[in-house]
Amino acid sequence: MAVARTPLIAGNWKMNLDHLQAVAFVQKLHWTLKDAAHEDGSVEVAVFPPFTDIRTVQTLIDADKIPFAFGAQDISTHDSGAYTGEVSGAFLSKLSCRYVIIGHSERREYHHETDEIVAAKVRAALKHGIVPVICVGETLEQREESGPTAVSVAQLRVALEAVSADDDFVVAYEPVWAIGTGQVASPEQAQEVCAALREVISEALGADVAAKTRVLYGGSVKSGNIASFMREPDVDGALVGGASLVVDEFASIIRFQKHVGV
Ligand code: 13P
């Protein structure tokens, strides 16, 4: 990974941990990293709790000065109005969410989010000063049909229509076949797609933006494989699902710099 990009280790809790469990988790993660003398700032840590936890997590992080960022797992394309069940970027911004995950494959699959909806959500996030974490990735069938990069590249191209060169954003490559399956991509596979995605950023927004934008890998990341991904030049961090729910495991992923030789 190039020196200029601070690695981002992000925990997507999905629909796990209520607001009380969230307090215990964030406190314990903070203490675990402190006990291990983890150097704050060497890696950016972010958690993505369910909506109902965000206010609680915000208050805790604020009160205890915990050096973690936090974000939401989704955002409405609308600002306000008659959209039952939706959550506005204006509200997330009021809660000081730094990030929002957009276009996760679970939302694309179960909630029929198209590339156009993803782009509209990216636009909504940026409008409210929230950094979108734009997720892309192919199914196994798509990989066999059109190769490793085509689907992710096409998805990102549409999402980037909502982005301009001075916007901050993060891209996460999450091959659908590697999510929650234990069937992890190889570091070479992750690198190949992450490099192609950086090229898309460069074409759309210029080389400088491509050089500073973080591209993450996600899909069955664990403490035992994180270091191998982080050795790749175009992988700038990880979007972690299951392993982000286990304090010791997530702390160990955050501390990947200590076990790069593993
Ligand atoms: P797992 O780490 O559980 O495979 O999930 C990855 C993911 O979907 C993160 O957004």
Q: Which domains does the chain have, with CATH numbers?
A: 8-260 (3.20.20.70)
At which residue do the structure tokens 């694309």 appear? 108
Yes or no: say if 163 and 205 are a contact pair by the CB < 8 Å rule.
yes
Find out whether the beta carbon of 226 lies less than 6 Å from any atom of ligand 1.
no
For residues 48 and 131, what is the distance between their CA atoms, to the nearest angstrom? 13
What mean pLDDT do residues 121-131 have?
Answer: 98
Residue 2 pLDDT more than 50?
no
Entry pTM: 0.97
If you take atom 1 of ligand 1, which residue's CA is the nearest one?
Answer: 241
Cβ neighbours of 3 (radius 10 Å): 5
Provide the pLDDT confidence category of residue 260 given band limits of 50, 70 and 90. Answer: low
143-193 per-position pLDDT tens digit? 999 999 999 999 999 999 999 999 999 999 999 999 888 889 999 999 999
Nearest CA owner, ligand 1 atom 2 = 241
Residue 262 has pLDDT above 50, yes or no: no
Is the Cβ atom of 242 under 6 angstroms away from ligand 1?
Answer: yes
Residue 242 Cα to ligand 1 middle (Å): 6
Token pair for 102: 């957009």
Residue nearest to atom 9 of ligand 1 (CA): 241
Cβ of 252 closer than 6 Å to ligand 1, yes or no, is no
- Catalytic residue numbers, as ranges: 104, 174
Instruction: Return d(Cα 100, Cα 134) in angstroms, integer.
Output: 9
